[in-house]
Structure 1
Amino acid sequence: MTNAPDPSRFAHVTDWVFDLDNTLYPHHTNLFAQIDVKMTAYVSELLQLSRDDARKLQKELYREYGTTMNGLIQRHNIDPDDFLNKVHDIDYSWVQPDPELGEAIRALPGRKFIFTNGDRKHAENTARQLGILDDFDDIFDIVAAGLVPKPAREPYDKFMGIHRVDAPNAVMFEDLARNLSVPKQLGMTTVLIVPNNFEPTFSEIWEQDPEHEDDVDYVTDDLSAFLKTILQEL
């Protein structure tokens, strides 16, 4: 599934910005599912809640604060380092190396960045397992963002300021449409990554973001194929 990119609309791009989870690796990899389980367990232990109640609160925090961690910081003053270490204590072997994606990313003209609401260690571990870590110029993580997560405006401004990114000459790839709203306002080209053979009932309702469809320029369920199409005329 894709709305085919017009390569001419990417000829001016000098900065290629990629989200990490469910963007650089496919949704069906279930890597983030491990993190999700760890977050539920963290909330359960922290607040002495049943798993069901902890998961309900976890999703409430996610919707209200952008990330579960941000909600726990705001409401319960948790130690973010402790949270990040515990929820990213996962098995990365579920991620399959993707040499095709690596080849496409390396061929893109200009700089390449990972911009994630996770931490740098998680991004490095994931990208290393994919075989694409060395293809990026830098990683902008939740710590660099001052613990303020996407979709808030602040982390985008920090990212662009640090790396001197000119938004109209940048493109952002994301699996959550709400996280493309600010980039679109800033003038970036936006690409939404959806699960392979995506159906509207696939995701939980708060991950579908139908109200943000105007913030999305392109949709694809195959990042490598999308990038290859662009590269044909660059």
Structure 2
Amino acid sequence: MTDLTKTPDRSLSHVTEWVFDLDNTLYPRECNLFAQIDILISHYMVSVTNLAFDEARALQKTYYREYGTTLNGLMHKHQVDPDHFLNTVHAIDYSPVASHDGLIEAIRALPGRKFILTNGDVGHARAVLGRLGNADDLFEDIFDIRAMKYTPKPLPEAYEAFFATHGIDVERAAMFDDLEKNLLVPHERGMRTVQVVAGPEFAHDQVEAWELEQRGGSHVHHVTSDLAGFLRRLP
């Protein structure tokens, strides 16, 4: 599914600041990389709370909804060490991420600056980029959860810290993310927004329906399940 319908207020022809989420955005949700992280987070929840697995997982999803990330909830409720958490849940097999020269080339061809804005950490992002292809010099910065001081998207403070650090001209910027809620603040600040979604047949027993829902809010300007194709088709 790719929506490239353009209206004057949603065109990306003026964009010179390109901001990409990482997980389930720069690689397809279908490769289930984040599913590995998700299950490690569940086991981490068990170790911290001493709850049974199903109870811990339910609490994990509650924290995710209410705090933006499970980590943020754990820091508020259980005073966990964020570095220990991040190192633990990113100890995964990155081989499901396939190389994608077409995506790398499409991003490289975009005019202006490119950034990653992720609730993950830099090490995780570099591991993903290493799988995608020759992307070492592709992004000006990876602005991660540590740079956000552990205040994650979709909280406004996460974006404000990023904008201030890099002098982002929001009127000439676009945000790409897999989650609708993470596009609300960018839209409100004047950015163009693109939601990157899974294909219509995607289903996974670890992914709850609310995580994939598309309400079609006005803050989502474009929707695509083919990021590389979307970028190549831009004027």
- Give the TM-score normalised by the residue count of structure 1: 0.93
Give the partner amino acid of 1:92: Y
Give the partner amino acid of 1:106: R
* Matched residue count: 231
Q: Please give the alpha-carbon distance, in whole angstroms, between the structure 1 residues aligned to 2:196 and 2:62.
A: 24
Correspondence 1:219 to 2:223:
yes
User: Do 2:195 and 2:223's aligned partners in 1 also have CA atoms closer than 8 Å?
Assistant: yes
**How far does residue 7 in structure 1 lie from its aligned partner after superposition?**
9.8
Correspondence 1:143 to 2:119:
no
Q: Deviations over 1:9-40 (max 9, x none)?
A: 22211100000000000011110000001000
Q: Please give the alpha-carbon distance, in whole angstroms, between the structure 1 residues aligned to 2:151 and 2:68.
A: 8
Q: Please give the alpha-carbon distance, in whole angstroms, between the structure 1 residues aligned to 2:129 and 2:5.
A: 25
**How far does residue 133 in structure 1 lie from its aligned partner after superposition?**
3.7
Give the partner amino acid of 1:224: A
RMSD of aligned Cα (Å): 1.9
Q: Please give the alpha-carbon distance, in whole angstroms, between the structure 1 residues aligned to 2:233 and 2:7.
A: 7
Q: Please give the alpha-carbon distance, in whole angstroms, between the structure 1 residues aligned to 2:214 and 2:4.
A: 20
Match of 2:158 among 152, 155, 164: 155
Q: Please give the alpha-carbon distance, in whole angstroms, between the structure 2 residues aligned to 1:198 and 1:116.
A: 26
Change (3 A) 1:200 1:180: farther
Query: In structure 2, the residue corresponding to 1:191 is in which secondary structure?
Result: strand
The residue aligned with 2:191 is 188
**How far does residue 6 in structure 1 lie from its aligned partner after superposition?**
3.5
The residue aligned with 1:104 is 106
User: Do 1:7 and 1:229's aligned partners in 2 also have CA atoms closer than 8 Å?
Assistant: no
- Give the TM-score normalised by the residue count of structure 2: 0.93
Runs of 5+ consecutive residues of structure 2 not aligned to the other structure: none
Give the partner amino acid of 1:223: L
Q: Please give the alpha-carbon distance, in whole angstroms, between the structure 1 residues aligned to 2:155 and 2:144.
A: 14
The residue aligned with 1:3 is 3
User: Do 2:30 and 2:202's aligned partners in 1 also have CA atoms closer than 8 Å?
Assistant: no
**How far does residue 204 in structure 1 lie from its aligned partner after superposition?**
2.0
Q: Deviations over 1:32-81 (max 9, x none)?
A: 00000100000011111221111111001111111000000000000000
User: Do 1:35 and 1:90's aligned partners in 2 also have CA atoms closer than 8 Å?
Assistant: yes
Q: Deviations over 1:153-200 (max 9, x none)?
A: 001011011100011100000000000000000000000011023579
Give the partner amino acid of 1:176: L
Q: Deviations over 1:121-148 (max 9, x none)?
A: 1011111111134311110000000100
Higher relative helix content: 1
**How far does residue 213 in structure 1 lie from its aligned partner after superposition?**
1.7
Runs of 5+ consecutive residues of structure 1 not aligned to the other structure: none
| Correspondence list, 1:24-63, <5 A | 24-63=26-65
Match of 2:211 among 207, 210, 228: 207
| Correspondence list, 1:67-146, <5 A | 67-131=69-133, 132-146=135-149
The residue aligned with 1:167 is 170
Aligned-pair identity in percent equals 50
More displaced stretch, 126-135 vs 78-87:
126-135
More displaced stretch, 193-202 vs 52-61:
193-202
User: Do 2:194 and 2:221's aligned partners in 1 also have CA atoms closer than 8 Å?
Assistant: yes
